[in-house]
Every structure is written in structure tokens, then in C-alpha cells.
Amino acid sequence: MTLDAAPRLDVDRLLDDPGTRIIVCCGAGGVGKTTTAAALGVRAAERGRKTVVLTIDPARRLAQSMGIASLDNVPRRVEGILAGGRPDGDEPDGDRSAGDGSAGEAPDGEGPDGDRTDEDGTGRGGSAGGRDRDRRPGGELHAMMLDMKRTFDEIVVAHADAERARAILENPFYQSLSAGFAGTQEYMAMEKLGQLRARDEWDLIIVDTPPSRSALDFLDAPKRLGSFLDGKFIRVLMAPAKVGGRAGMKFLNAGMSVMTGTLSKLMGGQLLRDVQTFVAAMDTMFGGFRTRADATYRLLQAPGTAFLVVAAPERDALREAAYFVERLAAEDMPLAGLVLNRVHGSGAAGLSAERALGAAETLESENLENARIVDQGDGETASRAAESLGDGAPAGDSPAAGGGPDEAAPREDEDESAGNRPDSSGNGQDGPHGQDGPARRATADRLAAGLLRLHAERMQVLGREQHNRDRFTALHPEVPVAEVSALPGDVHDLAGLRAIGERLAADGSTPGAA
């Protein structure tokens, strides 16, 4: 309903479009940016595109999942990419539209519906074989990890003569700068992107962005460099240091000498000399730096570039995503859409958290009474379940169920109206299982109460996620969204990345997915 107001991001169309040459994945830290970039890479390659993924700082497992534990500064081919047997290539949209409809009705649907859960719940394992029709031959996947220092060194070597290059590489200031003070990463990521694009060996470059202070740092990096190079400060730095009143000082105007004097006092004469030597040695290269920084910036604005903002359905991540969307618009950078990772769903979305909790409480209080009648011999499992139920349900938690989520969550069954509430009526009648012994019934009650509490927890998560997402959609209704349902564990291999790619490309509105 409300959430469907956001248009769906058609990931496959984006990947298949030969006009798409660069995809930049950006967003806050911890939202699955790198995983998304890798999954898109696998999918693009298997759909026939010659793809390279530039990762910045992949978790070890993720690098291993692409079979490239030793990722380095050079693109390495990823083995195990599947090309389809059928090169004819169906229309990416054609055969999926039928599925969209059925999944789309879930939010306002009838509630529990047995078969809806089947297609999604088991998606973690069984995906590898089934989607051959989506694959096309001719694709390749290459992956690399940005090595800041080496990238910087390469630039120096490529753009300075041998002697000057050596002077720069041996300069202590350069060594620390290039070894990775925060921020260098952003310059080098953009530099590397420019290099990859210039080589023109790939149809599609997918870039992950650095885990910056702010997700926007990499956008600012080239500009910042430019403004520095235009500034007066660099000229001050280029002036000789004030060392014991050398003759050269006479030729500096008074302002300059105060400046260098101040700098010398601040930094210590030796550091200032190191910086000056560095700046002098880099001098001839700076022009090249700026030209390339500007070119990369323009490249990011070009029609072949698509930005994907990656987020999880959490408040902070989506707030940052919204900020990013606004910023991209201000910079004339082409936004393709929002990838929303780790979205939860429920096969029983019609049963609200409040009602599930109420029902669980009814069963538990009934159970307490029964426990007085029945002796203790009805099984450890249930009693353990009942124990942890006690912990899980402090009185203080319940109000939360009625708090934040309630405007978003409840999708009540229409045939379960207030008249049928679980108060006392349920206790009296025997129900369909009246013939069971009271002990067995107590066990079933506890199990059912546990299931209901889990469901209530899930529905609270759903409610919160939807609230956050609605907020984003209200601010940016024009941004297409692709949702990726939550996986229980981490990705360990290509099959895992492939499964994520399928979830990315599948219809976004799948609250039935889990």
C-alpha cells in the first residue's frame, strides 16, 4: 500500500543496458555496500557483461567468496561465473511480471497464506540451479581491491621522471600521506576509477565507495584537491623555509615570510622542509592530478554512470541515504535508485504484533493455571521454552509493541474482529483438541506462545522498517527502490552472491520474503 508508492528499481534493466558503464555503490557503513557491489558484479557478468568490481576494503570473507583471497591492486578474473546455455536472452522484464502481481498483494492480503512462504523462505540454498534462463554467455567478472599506496606510487612513477619519482617516493611526508591517512583512500578510489575507465577493457565498472567518515567524502575529494591546488597556500609552501635568515628571504614579501615563519614554528623546520620538498617534487604532477580529478568528476556526472544508494531499513542508514540522494541531485550526478538491504518479511503479516502478544499472554496465563493442576512431568523442552518466555516478556517490553510500529504494522485480519478476542472465551471451550491430556495441551500452549512471541518480534521489526522506509519514500517518492530480503547468515561463496543478486533483481515488494 503506502510502501508501493515508491517505484521499483529494475536492477536487471540497469545491468543489461549497454549504456550503463559505471555503477557506484554508496551509502553509510555497515549496510552491505561491498556485498551489493560484488553481487551486482556476479549478476552482470552472468548476464553477459564484461565486468570489473573495484572494492575498497572488503571483509576477508567477501574477498574469499569471489575466490580472490589475495585481492590486490590489479583486476583478477573471478572463476566460476556461469554463462547461460541460451544466448537468445529473454526480455529481462517479460516473464517476471506475473510474479510481481502475486507478491505485491501481500501487504494488504488475507494474512497467512501457506504457499507464499515457500518461494522465499528457502531461497538461501536452492537458487544456484534454477535461473539459467537469466544467464547469457560472454560475460566475465574481474575483481580488485584498492591498494592506496600502490595506486599513489603508480601515479608518481607514471607522471614524473625517474629521479623526481625517486625523490618523491623517498620523502617521509609522502610516505605517510600515501600509506593511508584517512582521506587518501577517496582520492585514490576516484583515481583508480578513472584509470579503469580509461583502459576501456570492461563494459561495466562497479565501484564500492570507501567506508568514510561521511559517505560523501569521495564526492568531495577531487574538488578539495582542486581548491587546494588553486589556493595560495601551495605557493607559500613552495617558498623556501626560513632557515636562519638566508639571503633568499629578502626576496619574499613580508607576509610570506611571516607565514613560513609561522609554519616553521608550528611544524618544526625539518617537517616543513619535508613538506616543501614533497610539494616541489610533486609540482609538475599537480596539474595532472587536477586534470584527472576534474575528469573523474565529470565522468561521475556522465549519462553512462549510475549511482546506487545502498541502505538498510534502519533510521540512521536511511537518513544518510536521503541526504545522499539530495546531494547527488545537487551535483547533477545520475541516481539510479535505492538498494534496501536486509528487509524482513513475514508469511503471516496479517497477524499484528499486538494480537500475537496478546494471544501469547493468554496462552501463558492459562498455562500458569494448568501448571498448578498438572504435575511437572511434561517435558524439558517446553519448560525451557516457557522459562525463556518469562525472560523475553518483561512488562516493560510490551508498551513498545503498541508504540512506534503501530501506525505501520497492523494488517489485521478482517474476520477476526474484536468480538473474537482471546479473553475468557477461549479458556472455557475445549476446542478441537479437547481430547488431549492437560499436560500435552500445556506443552502445545507453550510452544504456540513461543511461536506467537517470535512472530510479534518479527512484526515489530517489520513495522519499524516500514516506518523508516515510508519516511524515506515520503521525502523522495521519485527514487526507485529494490529491496533485498534478509539472509540468516553471511555470504561465503559465489552462490551466496548469486542469491543476493537474484533477490536484488526480484520484485522489491516482497513482504512475504523472510
Q: What is the CA radius of gyration of the chain?
A: 30
Q: Taking contact as CB under 8 A, which single stretch among the options 90-98, 196-204, 227-235, 496-504 is the one that binds another protein?
A: 227-235
Instruction: Collapse the DSSP code of 160 into the 3-class scheme (helix H, G, I; strand E, B; otherwise coil) and give the result.
Output: coil
Of the residues 266, 330, 373, 395, which one makes contact with another protein according to CB under 8 A: 266
The number of angstroms, rounded, from the C-alpha of 42 to the middle of its chain's C-alpha atoms is 16
Decide if residue 452 touches another protein (CB under 8 A). yes
Interaction of residue 69 with another protein, rule CB under 8 A: no
| E strand or H helix at 50 | strand 50-55
Decide if residue 397 touches another protein (CB under 8 A).
yes
Report CA-CA distances (Å) from 251 to 143, 258, 417, 479: 53, 13, 91, 59
Residue 226 binds to another protein (criterion: CB under 8 A) = no
Using rule CB under 8 A, residue 372 touches another protein:
no
Q: Which is nearer to another protein, 31 or 308 (CB)?
A: 31
Q: Does 101 bind another protein (CB under 8 A)?
A: no
Q: How far is CA 72 from CA 63, 169, 188, in A?
A: 10, 20, 14
Residue 214 within binding range of another protein, rule CB under 8 A: yes
Nearer to another protein, 60 or 250 (CB): 60
User: How many residues bind to another protein according to rule CB under 8 A?
Assistant: 114
Q: Are 31 and 317 in contact (CB under 8 A)?
A: yes
Q: Is 301 left (phi over 0), alpha (psi -120 to 50) or beta?
A: alpha
Least distance in angstroms from the C-beta of 460 to another protein: 6
In the complex, the smallest distance separating the C-beta of residue 337 from another protein, rounded to whole angstroms, is 21
Q: Which residues 475-504 are close enough to bind another protein by CB under 8 A?
A: 488-490
Q: 239, 252 in Cβ contact below 8 A?
A: yes
The 164-193 site mask, x for binding another protein (CB under 8 A), equals --------xx--xx--xxxxx---------
Whose CA is closest to 473, among 1, 6, 102, 80?
Answer: 6
Q: Where are the beta strands (DSSP E) in 245-334?
A: 305-311
Contacts of another protein in 401-430 (CB under 8 A): 401, 403-404, 413, 415-416, 420-422, 425-427, 429
Which region, judged by CB under 8 A, interacts with another protein, from 16-24, 144-152, 450-458, 475-483? 450-458
C-alpha torsion angle, residues 126, 128, 133, 139 (rounded to 10): 160
Binders of another protein in range 311-330 (CB under 8 A): 312, 314-317, 319
Given 2, 97, 270, 291, the residue binding another protein (CB under 8 A): 270
- Cβ-contact 409, 456 below 8 angstroms: no
Chosen residue from 191, 445, 483, 502 binding another protein by CB under 8 A: 445
